[in-house]
Amino acid sequence: MQKKIAIIGGGIVGATAAYYLSKLPGTQRLEVTLFDSGVGQATKAAAGIISPWLSKRRNQRWYQLAKSGADLYPELIHDAQLGTEVYQQTGTIVTREEATDLETLFALAQERRQTAATMGDVSTLTAQEVQAKVPLLSKPQPGVFITGGARVDGDALVHALLDRASEKNLTVRQERVSLTPDGQVVTSMGPRHYDRVILAAGAWLKDLVAPLAVTADVRPQKGQLIELAVKDYELQENMPVVMPEGERDFIPFGHGKLIVGATHEDDGKFNLTPDATVTADLLGSAQRLMTGITANDISGVRVGTRAYSSDFAPFFGPVPEHELFLAASGLGSSGLTTGPQIGRLLAGSALYGGTPDWSEYELPLTTYLRSSAE
Q: Is the domain of 119 the same as that of 32?
A: no
Asked whether residue 144 falls in the same domain as residue 227, the answer is: yes
Q: Is residue 72 part of a domain?
A: no
Q: Determine, yes or no, domain membership for 281.
A: yes
Which class for 29: exposed (0-12), middle (13-18), buried (19 or more C-beta within 10 A)?
Answer: exposed
End residue of a domain, out of 308, 324, 353: 308
162: pLDDT confidence band, cut at 50, 70 and 90?
very high
pLDDT band per the 50, 70, 90 thresholds, residue 2: confident
Domain stops at, among 308, 331, 355: 308
Domain check: are 136 and 225 in the same one?
A: yes
Which of 271, 287, 308 marks a domain boundary? 308
Indicate the burial class of 71 (C-beta count within 10 angstroms; 0-12, 13-18, 19 or more). Answer: middle
Does a structural domain hold residue 53? no
CA distance 109 to 291: 31
Q: Where are the beta strands (DSSP E) in 147-297?
A: 150-153, 170-173, 178-179, 185-187, 190-192, 196-199, 214-216, 219-229, 241-243, 249-253, 257-261
Q: Kindly state whether residues 231 and 298 are assigned to the same domain.
A: yes
155 within 8 A of 43, measured Cβ to Cβ: yes
- 141 with 199, same domain: the answer is no
User: Does residue 126 sit in the same domain as residue 187?
Assistant: no
Residue 87 domain-assigned? no
CB-CB neighbours of 104 under 10 Å = 13
Q: Same structural domain for residues 229 and 133?
A: yes
Q: Which residues contact 316 (CB under 8 A, 6 or more apart)?
A: 13, 326, 327, 328, 329, 342, 345, 346, 358, 362, 365
For 225-261, the pLDDT digits (tens) are 999 999 888 766 789 999 999 889 999 987 889 999 8
Q: What is the pLDDT of residue 28?
A: 87
- 143 and 165 both lie in a single domain: no
Show the domain range for 304. Answer: 92-148+220-308
Q: In CATH, what number is assigned to the domain containing residue 137?
A: 3.30.9.10
Q: Are residues 167 and 285 in the same domain?
A: no
Phi, psi of 240 (to 5 degrees): -65, 155
Count of domains observed in the chain: 2
* 336 located within any domain: yes
Structure confidence at residue 374 (pLDDT): 57
Q: Residues 235, 304: one domain?
A: yes
Tell me the average pLDDT of the chain.
93
The dihedral over CA atoms of 87, 88, 89, 91, expressed in degrees to the nearest 10, equals -110
Task: Give a yes or no: residue 329 inside a domain.
Answer: yes
Going edge to edge, which strands form the sheet with 87-88?
Answer: 47-50, 150-153, 87-88
Domain CATH code at residue 196: 3.50.50.60
**Are residue 292 and residue 226 in the same domain, yes or no?**
yes
Which DSSP category does 34 fall into?
E
Identity of the amino acid at 144 = V
Residue 167 domain-assigned?
A: yes
Q: Is residue 292 part of a domain?
A: yes
Query: Which of 38-42, 101-105, 152-156 has the weakest average pLDDT?
Result: 38-42
Enumerate the β-bridge partners of residue 182.
none
Q: According to the model, what pLDDT value does residue 75 have?
A: 96
Identify whether residues 167 and 303 lie together within a single domain. no
